[in-house]
Amino acid sequence: MTQFLTITSGKGGTGKTTTAINVGTALSQFGRDVIVVDGNLHNPNISLHLGNPMLPITLRDVSKGTNSIRQAAYQHPSGLKVIPGNIIDEIEKQDFKRVEHSFLDLMGATELVLIDTSSQPHEEIMNVAGKTLVVTTPDLTSVTDTLRTIKKTEEKGIKVLGVVVNKIKGKNELSVSEIKAMLDRPIIGEVPYDEKVEESHASKHPVTYLHPEAESTQSFKRIATNLIGNANQ
Ligand SMILES: Nc1ncnc2c1ncn2[C@@H]1O[C@H](COP(=O)(O)OP(=O)(O)O)[C@@H](O)[C@H]1O
Ligand SMILES: [Mg+2]
């Protein structure tokens, strides 16, 4: 059975897209069948992180109803299967709904669909998955936003599988145990601030692929392992 999981956050820049592509890459390295989809339809992010290949079929074709979303998937050199978004003016507003509905057509196409989202994801996309992983940074503003987001998300009936604390520097910030106490949700991952993430971003590859030995890579692999245990819940 295909599992769907969104990656969300309270505010932008916490590392949702970074988490989606790196956890996705780690899972595919573990031999799992996973597709990372850009659910950030108004302001696509995945291509900013993985490059912008010329693809024969894109979400624009899906939005017009001429192709299935399964045909819009491609394989990044890292081995990760990806469905990138399109820039906003390429998809007309009335066709967005068709794209959002089409996410469900991935049912049966893979083991896990990881949907990267914007900070204000559409309800439709959240409902497709029904569960989410929330990414926060360890500063008070981000954690406070995260708390609000978790409450709002759960009120809408979406399960919060857990929290990823990203860009941990280890000083002048909240500790993971303080964050756990504030949010009262499972911490599924702790990722250090790592310049290799920025460097990999600039060269359009997941750090998990480019720097297998990096500390951040080890963290993303641990999150992937945790997810394998949690995804069926
Ligand atoms: N663990 C990390 N260490 C260093 N830089 C990071 C880390 N995680 C993300 N970044 C950087 O932070 C910026 C925002 O990350 P991104 O994943 O695009 O956030 P979001 O999708 O939540 O807006 C990017 O430049 C990314 O390379
Ligand atoms: Mg993003």
Q: What percent of the chain has pLDDT over 90?
A: 78
Q: Is the pLDDT of residue 140 over 80?
A: yes
Q: Ligand 1: which of 18, 46, 118, 218 to mutate, judged by most atoms within 8 Å of the beta carbon?
A: 18
* Contact in structure between 188 and 226 (CB atoms under 8 Å): yes
Residues near ion ligand 2 (Cβ under 5 Å): 16-17, 45
Does 233 reside within a domain? Answer: no
| Cα angle for residues 49, 52, 53 (degrees, 5° grid) | 130
Tens of pLDDT, residue by residue over 65-100, are: 999 999 999 999 999 999 998 765 666 777 878 888
Report the separation in Å between the CA atom of 54 and the middle of ligand 1, taken as the mean of its atom positions: 25
Would you mind telling me the total number of residues written for the chain in this entry?
Answer: 233
pTM of the complete model beyond 0.85: yes
Average pLDDT value over all residues in the chain? 93
**Amino acid at site 5:** L
Task: Determine if ligand 1 sits within 6 Å of the CB of residue 167.
Answer: yes
Name the residue with the closest Cα to ligand 1, atom 13.
13
Task: Determine if ligand 1 sits within 6 Å of the CB of residue 14.
Answer: yes
E strand or H helix at 128: helix 123-129
Does 219 reside within a domain? Answer: yes
**Other Cβ atoms closer than 10 A to 36:** 31
Tens of pLDDT, residue by residue over 187-208, are: 999 999 999 999 999 999 999 9
Instruction: Please give the tally of structural domains in the chain.
Output: 1
Q: Is the pLDDT of residue 33 over 50?
A: yes
Mean pLDDT on 135-157: 97
Does 31 reside within a domain? Answer: yes
Does 215 reside within a domain? Answer: yes
> Which stretches of 63-158 are assigned E, i.e. beta strand?
74-75, 81-83, 112-116, 131-136
- Look up residue 219 and give its DSSP letter: H
232 pLDDT band (50/70/90 cuts)?
Answer: very low
Domain of 222: which CATH number? 3.40.50.300
Q: What are phi and psi of 184, to 5 degrees?
A: 55, 40
Name the residue with the closest Cα to ligand 1, atom 16.
15
Does 61 reside within a domain? Answer: yes
Give the model's pLDDT for residue 231: 52
Q: Which domain holds residue 94?
A: 3-228
**Amino acid at site 209:** Y
